[in-house]
Structure 1
Amino acid sequence: MAVDDDPVNLKILTSVLSIKDYAMVTVTSGIDALIKLDTDHWDLIITDVMMPQMSGYELTMNGFVWKQRIYKRKYNHISYTLNSISALASFDTKRMSHLIDAFSSYLRLSFNFLNAEPMIPIEHELELVRAYLYIEKERFEDRMTINWDLPENLHFQLPPLTQPLVENAVRHGILSRSKGGTLTISIKELANDIEITIADNGKGMTAEQLQQLLSSQSNVTQGIGFLNTHKRLLRVYATGLQIKSKEGQGTSVSFIIPSEKRNMIRKNSYSQTD
C-alpha cells in the first residue's frame, strides 16, 4: 500500500514497483489507509510523512508503540503469574491448580488476541477477560472486587478491544489506590443497540487528563491505547469511546455497537458463569 496526498508521487511509486510484480494499492490519506488496514493483510506500507489531517508518523508509530506496549504488559503479567504459582505450590496446591488452568487459558487467548481477526464473538472476549481477572484476583485478593452485569442468550461480534480496557481499569483505576476498589463490567441492550461499559471506582482523572486522553498529543500514560481503541471503533461503528471520570471517584469507559450493525448480531445460547 502506498500512502501519499500527492497523486504524482503515487503514480511514480506505482510505475517503479509494478516492474517488480508488486500488487499495488494507493490511497491519498492516512485515514483511508487505516480503513484499508482493517480490511486486508499487507506486506509493505510506504507512506509520506507530511500529509494533512494525519501524518505518516501518526499512521504508523501509534499502532506500533501500542502493540509493543501490549507485548511488554503480557510479558510482565506472565512473570508475575509464574511467581504467584510458585508461591502457592508451597501451601495451597488446589489454588495453584486453578491458577494454572486460568493462566493456560489466558496465554492461549492472549496469543489469539495478538493475531486476532477483525471481529470475534463476545464469548471469546469474555473468556479472556475472565481468565485475566481470575489471575489478578489471586494476586491482589481483597484489593479487587469484580461485578458482572451480563445478559443471557446474547451473542454478537465485536473488535477484540474489551480486555485491554479492563486491564487499564485494573492497573490505572482500582489498583492505583492502596485499598483497591471495585470493577464493574456490564453489557446492556439499549433498544437495538448494545452498550459495553467498564467502570471502576479508582482514583479517576482530572478534567485536563480526560480532555487529553483521546488527543493525538496525549501525555497521559494510557493515552495511546485509548486513542487507538477510539479510532478503531470510529472506523468500525462510526462511534468511539465514551469516557466519564471524576478525580477521586473513578472512571467509566463505554462504547456502543449501533443498531445499523445488528447484521453482525444473532441470538444464541449463551450461559453466564462467574
Structure 2
Amino acid sequence: MCTAVFRDRIHAALIMTGGLVVLECCVFDILFQNNIVNAGLLELTPIGFFLMLLGQAHVLAESFAETIRKKEETLLQLQASLERERKSELKFLKSQIRPHFIHNALNTILSISRKDVPRSQELLVEFSSYLRGCFDFKNLEDMIPIEKELEFIRSYLSLEQARFGDRLKVRYDIDDQSVRVPPLILQPLVENAVIHGIRPKPDGGNILVYVKRVGDAVKIGVMDDGDGIPPERIEKLIAGEESGRGVGIYNITRRLKKIYHISLCIQNRDTGGLDVSMKLPLNGGRYNAESNLG
C-alpha cells in the first residue's frame, strides 16, 4: 500500500488512511481493555470500521463514475471515428465521379463519331461500362472477382486511349483470375498512372496492369514509365497528407489495412516510373504489413 501511495496510484492514499484509522482504533481499544489508557466506555474500533467503509464506498463511487466517463469518451471517439470513415468513404466515392473525365470522354466520343461511327459506338459501350463500374456495388468492403475490376479498368483505359491516341500504350499481364478483391481497389491506381505518370510526358508512355500469383498470395499492381515520386513523398501519400495522388492512395491503404492488415507497396522503378502494388491472400487470410513489401 505504501508503494501504491508512493507511485501516486488512484485512491491509494484514501484506502491507506482508512486502514490506518482502523489500526489505530484497534490499538486504542486493546490499550483501553488492558486499563493502559482511560477513555470511559467508548470503543473506537466500530467507528474506525465505519469510517473505513465510508471511504471504501467513496472509492467505489469514484471508480464507477470514472468507468462511466471513460466509456462515454470511448463511445464519442468511436462515433467520431465512424463519422470520419464515412466522410472519407464518401469522398472516395465522389472522387470516382470525375466531371472533367466524363466531359473529355464524351467530347472524344463525339469527335470520333464524325469520322468513325462504329468506333464511337464501341466507346459508348465502354463509357456505359465505366459508369456502371463506379456504382455497381453496395459496400466498399464487398468482394468481387478480379475480372470484374479488370473490366472496369479496361473500359476506363479504352476511353483514355481514344483520347490520348498513341501517347498511351497499355499492357496486361494477368496469370490468375481466381482472387476476389474489394471493388475500386485497383482502378484509382490506374487512373493515377495515367494522370500523374503518363499525361505530363509530351511523348506519353506505357502502363502495365498485372495480376501475378506469388505463393499463397496474388500480387496486383500497376506500373508506369513516368517520372516517379520523390522518396520523401511516399509516406506522406500513404498517410493522406498529399493532394492529387494522395486521396486515392490513402483511401486504398486505409481499406487494405482494415480488411487485410496490409499496406500498399510504392516503389520507384530503376528504369523510371512507378510500381504500386499489393499482395492479397488467396485464402482470405491476413498478412503483416512487412510481408507486403516483397
TM norm structure 2: 0.66
Select which of 44, 69, 72 maps to 2:95: 69
Aligned to 1:107: 131
Contact 2:127 2:155 in 1 (8 A): yes
Alignment partners' CA distance in 1, 2:273 and 2:67: 48
Are the equivalent residues in 2 in contact too, given 1:212–1:219 (CA < 8 A)? yes
Tell me the residue number matched to 2:247: 224
Query: 60-69 or 218-227, which moves further after superposition?
Result: 60-69
Following the alignment from structure 1 to structure 2, what is the Cα–Cα distance between the partners of residues 116 and 59? 12
- Equivalent residue for 1:254, pick from 274, 277, 285: 277
The 1-side partners of 2:210 and 2:270 are apart by: 22
Indicate if the aligned counterparts of 2:260 and 2:285 stay in contact, CA closer than 8 A: no
1:174 aligns with 2:170: no
Contact 2:186 2:221 in 1 (8 A): no
Residue 189 of structure 1 and its aligned partner are, at CA, apart by: 0.7
Match of 1:93 in 2: 117
- The match for 1:20 is none
What amino acid does structure 2 have at the position aligned with 1:148?
A: Y
- Change in CA separation of 1:262 and 1:204 when aligned onto 2, cut-off 3 Å: same
Structure 2 counterpart SS, 1:228: helix
Cα deviation, 1:96-139, whole Å, max 9, x if unaligned, reads 12111211211222221586562111111111011111111111
Aligned-partner Cα distance in 1 for 2:283–2:77: 26
Paired residue secondary structure (2:221): strand
User: Any residues of structure 2 matched to 1:20-31 within 5 Å, and which?
Assistant: none
Question: Could you report, residue by residue, the CA deviation over 1:66-108 in whole angstroms, capped at 9, with x for unpaired residues?
Answer: 333223x2x3222111111111121111211211121121122
| The one of 182, 185, 189 aligned to 2:213 | 189
Residue 123 (structure 1) aligned with residue 147 (structure 2): yes
In the alignment, is the contact (CA less than 8 A) between 2:207 and 2:225 conserved in 1? yes
Supply the RMSD in Å over aligned alpha carbons. 2.9
Show structure 1 runs of 5+ residues with no match. 1-5, 14-25, 31-45, 48-54, 264-274
Q: Distance in 2 between matches of 1:167 and 1:9?
A: 46
Decide which moves more: 79-88 or 108-117. 108-117
Tell me if the contact between 1:197 and 1:252 (Cα under 8 Å) persists in the aligned partners: yes
For residues 157 and 69 of structure 2, what CA distance do their matches in structure 1 show? 49
User: Unaligned regions of 5+ residues in structure 2, if any?
Assistant: 1-65, 287-294
Measure, in 2, the Cα distance between the counterparts of 1:59 and 1:262.
Answer: 23
Indicate the structure (1 or 2) with the bigger Cα radius of gyration.
2
| In structure 1, distance between residues paired with 2:139 and 2:100 | 19
Give the partner amino acid of 1:192: D
- Picking from 130, 154, 157, the partner of 2:180 is 157
Cα distance between partner residues in 1 of 2:226 and 2:137: 27
Larger RCO, structure (CA 8 Å, separation 6 or more): 1
Identity in percent: 33
Distance of 2:195 and 2:215 partners within structure 1 = 33
Alignment partner, residue 43 of structure 1: none
Give the SS at the match of 1:261. coil
Amino acid at match of 2:192: N
The answer on whether the counterparts of 2:141 and 2:259 sit within 8 Å (CA) in structure 1 is no
Which secondary structure state, in structure 1, belongs to the residue aligned with residue 115 of structure 2? coil
Contact residue 119 and residue 158 of structure 1 kept, 8 A: yes
Asked whether the equivalents of residues 143 and 179 of structure 1 are also in contact (C-alpha less than 8 Å), the reply is yes
Larger strand percent: 1
Distance 1:111 1:149 in 2: 26
| Residues 153 and 190, structure 2, Cα contact 8 Å, conserved in 1 | yes
- Paired positions, count: 220
Task: For 1:82 and 1:189, locate their aligned partners in 2 and report how far apart those are by CA, in whole Å.
Answer: 37
1:198 is matched with which residue? 222
**Superposed displacement of residue 203, structure 1:** 1.6
Partners in 1 of 2:253 and 2:213 — Cα distance? Answer: 21
Structure-1 residue corresponding to 2:28? none
